[in-house]
Amino acid sequence: MAFFKWNNTFSVGVASIDDQHKILINMINDFYDNLKNRTNNENISILINEMKKYAQFHFDYEESYMLKFNYQDFDLHQKQHHIFASKVKDFEEKFNNGTLILSFEITSFLKEWLKHHILVEDKKYTTFFIEKGVK
């Protein structure tokens, strides 16, 4: 059973963004599975790096449409993206330095942050993006 399961309540009505959210959810599930199976630190480090890169790709994608169409809450939304990226970067640095032992609390943080971000923050742009024709 998946740690974090996609369902239609997470849909923002924009297929490209929903697909990216599904990938992020799958990455969190992979991270959880690797922790649960006590995989080696090198695999965990690779997963953190991939998640960091993909999250940035996704944030840039959303923000490019926000800028293109002059989305009114762009600054607030971008700030939330920066907070998440900074937190993941901090996890990565501490893990690579040996000062952080990754745990299920971190996986739960990733899950809860993404769940809240999609259901609350991203849902705010749903109508706006659809009206602008974002697919």
Total domains in the chain come to 1
Tell whether 7 is covered by a domain: no
Question: Could you list the residue range(s) of the whole structural domain that residue 47 is in?
Answer: 13-131
Q: Is 135 exposed, middle or buried (0-12, 13-18, 19+ CB in 10 A)?
A: exposed
**CATH value at residue 101:** 1.20.120.50
Tell whether 4 is covered by a domain: no
- The whole model's pTM is what? 0.93
For residue range 12-71, list pLDDT tens digits in order.
999 999 999 999 999 999 989 988 888 888 888 898 899 999 999 999 999 999 999 999
CB 74 within 8 A of CB 67: yes
